[in-house]
Chain A
Amino acid sequence: MNLLPNFMRLPAAMLLVLVCTQGVAANYVDLRRIEPVHGDAAAGASRAVVCVACHGPNGNAVVPTFPKLAGQRADYIYHRLVEYRNADPNAPYYVASPMPAQAQTLSDVDMRNLAAYFAAQTPTASPTITETGDEQGATLYSNGDPAKGVPPCQGCHGADANGPIITASRYLAYPMLRGQHAAYLVSRLNGYRDKQAHDSTNDFIMRGVAHMLDDGSIHAVAVWLDSLPVVDKH
């Protein structure tokens, strides 16, 4: 039976093909056009009991390999949690991390609340600083190293390392670096340089930047950032 006029048959067949091939989206979190994250900090506090075991009371981690979360941008924390939830726990980058598993236990609302909670905390200086930052770290952060192709970190992370001024939603998830543990920063930058991090569009930016950094530079900028006195933004 001829239900469709001749010229309609092909488009109809094409439509059928389309319906059958609907599928999944890209395998990284696109942070270039995001909505600001809002959460209930109080509710987050109750969920944070597990987190503080590693990330310290109020998110001020004591162990330098764990990042400080206190005062970090909520958008960064939330999207990092989403990335963990999406991550392949067997990937080399995550195989030693408890976070992918932890993230599986969290609902989206939990993540937002946690993000809000940690963002509202006041960061404290690292108790474990053993080195003070030198001029090289400061210069790299402020001016980069054009000869090596290193752009200045401050372009995205703010002149005071408290994160950029938000003029568009794409900057929301750029993290604050000020006072962050040097060891954590080093391991994260190494992860970028080794091209193991590919969880978000921002990871791809950082991979390009870290590609230009040598061990000395990574160390210098991490130590310098760690040594910066924290600022209470509240």
Chain B
Amino acid sequence: MGLRRCCCMLAIVLAYGLWLVPPETALAQQGKPAVAGSLPSTNLSNDVSTDPSLPRPAPGFANARVAGNPLAPEAKSVGMKTCIACHQLEADHFTHTLHALGLIAANKADPAIPVCEACHGPGSEHAKNPQAKGLIIAYTKDGGTPIDVQTRTCLTCHAGGPRDHWLGSVHQRNGLSCSDCHNPMAKFSVEGSMAKQSINDTCAQCHKDIRLQFNRRSHMPLPEGQMSCDDCHNPHGSLSSGSSLTSFPLAKTNTVNETCYQCHAEKRGPFLFEHAPVRESCLNCHTPHGSNQNTLLVAPVPFLCQQCHTQQRHPNDLQTANSLMTGKNPDERIMGRGCLTCHANIHGSNAPAGPRFHE
């Protein structure tokens, strides 16, 4: 498309945008201070008198109650409205999150369901003395709430499923809290209530070294936003110990290969002729995050292959730069795809004449 045409289109879009403004007052923005005023009050006496015209609370929130805070045993619930009196900006940012949407609707349908205090515990002592640490369940570095109280509170509603094996997981053992990765207080990410702008940015807070490997020559399409760490790893814990030849840490499936097959289903086979290390673990030859070699290989071909292949005749020769196209003896065993020029179906061959992956 010509540049001129593009500019024209751009001008039209711009003109449209300008024409849109100012918005009608009927569509006026809900100002920040108005948020608090529009909220229902919390029924603290628990004499539930539900408005029959309202929908029943969603099942996911129906059992939500004020979280227990062991550091404030005397505290009583004060209700969202009281919280918001001071925490107006927080409430404003919270409004369009999934937690807010669900909890506020559930609270309207059943006033016994708290909003803020479902996660932060009863607020009365905190309101009286907000500077004292621990009186409210805080999910921050210096909020005074122990990590296990934080995670236990989240798991009250989020137990099971992907988080079934949180206890004992490497992240749990290293003292991570849910809020190291998640921040449900505002829309910091388009999905997943992440603490950073994406899953990948969130993981990179601690695993910057791994994130940087994705900048290498060959890599999974993670910097391009096409996948996330969670496609392969379950950061909440998994059955994988990571110490066996067929597993890796926080694996989402039972083996390395099952994880890879999710996107590379063609490699699943099983093939007529199998290559033993391939069937065992893709990680025998590939490094998962990024490599200076082509196709995420651990080492340059042919040396990668020559770690195992000492068979007689051609596999065990020492190749040198003399065997490159620019050398005196160009040799297909090292040029271009190297070994794979002939042993092309290296992941397994389904050809009856393919025991050596030639066909």
A residues contacting B by CB (< 8 A) are: 142-144, 146-152, 154-156, 159, 164-165, 167, 171, 195, 204-205, 207-209, 211-212
B97 at the interface (CB under 8 A from A): no
B311 at the interface (CB under 8 A from A): no
B78 at the interface (CB under 8 A from A): yes
The answer to whether B42 touches A207 (Cβ under 8 A) is: no
Q: Which residues of A contact B85 (CB under 8 A)?
A: 149-151, 208-209, 211-212
The answer to whether A208 touches B36 (Cβ under 8 A) is: yes
B33 to chain A: closest residue by CB: A207
B44 at the interface (CB under 8 A from A): yes
Q: Which residues of B contact A149 (CB under 8 A)?
A: 36, 39, 41, 79-82, 84-85
B42 to chain A: closest residue by CB: A146
Q: Most chain-B Cβ atoms within 10 A of its Cβ — which of A144, A167, A195?
A: A144
Q: With contacts A146-B77, A205-B86, A212-B85 known, is A155 near B127, CB below 8 A?
A: yes
Alpha-carbon separation in the docked complex, A22 to B89 (Å)? 27
B37 at the interface (CB under 8 A from A): yes
Alpha-carbon separation in the docked complex, A164 to B78 (Å)? 21
**Which of A150, A154, A204 contacts B128 (CB under 8 A)?**
A154
Shortest beta-carbon contacts, A-B, top 10:
A149-B81, A146-B78, A208-B88, A151-B127, A209-B85, A208-B85, A149-B82, A155-B130, A151-B85, A152-B128
Q: Which residues of B contact A195 (CB under 8 A)?
A: 33
B129 at the interface (CB under 8 A from A): yes
The answer to whether A148 touches B131 (Cβ under 8 A) is: no
Q: How far is the CB of A168 from chain B (nearest CB, A)?
A: 8
B124 at the interface (CB under 8 A from A): yes
**Which of A150, A151, A152, A211 contacts B33 (CB under 8 A)?**
A211
**Which of A143, A148, A204 contacts B88 (CB under 8 A)?**
A204
Alpha-carbon separation in the docked complex, A212 to B130 (Å)? 19
Alpha-carbon separation in the docked complex, A195 to B131 (Å)? 27
Chain B interfacial residues counted at CB < 8 A: 27
Q: How far is the CB of B222 from chain A (nearest CB, A)?
A: 26
Which chain B residues (66-109) contact chain A, with CB distance < 8 Å?
A: 76-86, 88-89
The answer to whether B33 touches A144 (Cβ under 8 A) is: no
Chain B contact surface mostly: helix
A165 to chain B: closest residue by CB: B131
Alpha-carbon separation in the docked complex, A26 to B83 (Å)? 26
The answer to whether B36 touches A147 (Cβ under 8 A) is: no
Q: How far is the CB of B106 from chain A (nearest CB, A)?
A: 18
Q: How far is the CB of B62 from chain A (nearest CB, A)?
A: 23
Alpha-carbon separation in the docked complex, A41 to B223 (Å)? 60
A-B contacts, 8 of them at CB < 8 A, read A147-B42, A154-B128, A154-B129, A155-B128, A159-B128, A164-B131, A204-B89, A205-B88
B residues contacting A by CB (< 8 A) are: 33, 36-37, 39, 41-42, 44, 76-86, 88-89, 124, 126-131
B43 to chain A: closest residue by CB: A147
Q: How far is the CB of B112 from chain A (nearest CB, A)?
A: 14
Alpha-carbon separation in the docked complex, A171 to B131 (Å)? 10
The answer to whether B129 touches A155 (Cβ under 8 A) is: yes
- Beyond contacts A149-B81, A151-B83, A205-B86: 20 other A-B pairs, Cβ-Cβ < 8 A, are A146-B76, A147-B41, A149-B36, A149-B39, A149-B41, A149-B82, A149-B84, A151-B86, A155-B126, A155-B128, A155-B130, A165-B131, A167-B131, A171-B131, A208-B84, A208-B88, A209-B86, A212-B36, A212-B82, A212-B85
Alpha-carbon separation in the docked complex, A149 to B76 (Å)? 14
Q: How far is the CB of B133 from chain A (nearest CB, A)?
A: 10
Q: Which residues of A contact B37 (CB under 8 A)?
A: 211
Q: How far is the CB of B131 from chain A (nearest CB, A)?
A: 5
The answer to whether A143 touches B124 (Cβ under 8 A) is: yes
Alpha-carbon separation in the docked complex, A27 to B39 (Å)? 28
A145 to chain B: closest residue by CB: B82
Alpha-carbon separation in the docked complex, A204 to B86 (Å)? 9
Alpha-carbon separation in the docked complex, A204 to B36 (Å)? 12
Alpha-carbon separation in the docked complex, A146 to B81 (Å)? 8
Q: How far is the CB of B108 from chain A (nearest CB, A)?
A: 15
Q: Which residues of B contact A150 (CB under 8 A)?
A: 82, 85
The answer to whether A152 touches B127 (Cβ under 8 A) is: yes
Q: Which residues of B contact A164 (CB under 8 A)?
A: 131
A209 to chain B: closest residue by CB: B85
Alpha-carbon separation in the docked complex, A150 to B42 (Å)? 12
The answer to whether A212 touches B81 (Cβ under 8 A) is: yes
